[in-house]
Amino acid sequence: MADHVSLRRAGAIALDAVGELVGCPAEGVTGIHRADGEWRVTVEVLEVERVPETTDVMASYEVQVDLDGNVTGYTRLRRYLRAEVDES
């Protein structure tokens, strides 16, 4: 690619890729920044759907996207219940 991938495009790439890689629906991007020549995108994923929804098991993944738009890696950062509130 002649131009580097934009922040918005990197988020969309990460959102699509993590859903395919882990086989669970990605719900949204909650963070994105550039570090070490690539985008680092945090994506929230629904890993286990339960009733009621507040007991769904969610996970945060960090996805690395290079400046050409290729996914170079991903890591699960944490798992939590949908109803949990992170005060940080």
Three-state DSSP class for residue 19: helix
Q: Which domains does the chain have, with CATH numbers?
A: 7-81 (3.10.450)
pLDDT on residue 86: 76
Contact 29/45 with Cβ under 8 angstroms?
A: no
pTM higher than 0.85: yes
Three-state DSSP class for residue 86: coil
pLDDT along the chain (88 residues), means of 10: 82 96 96 95 96 93 97 97 82
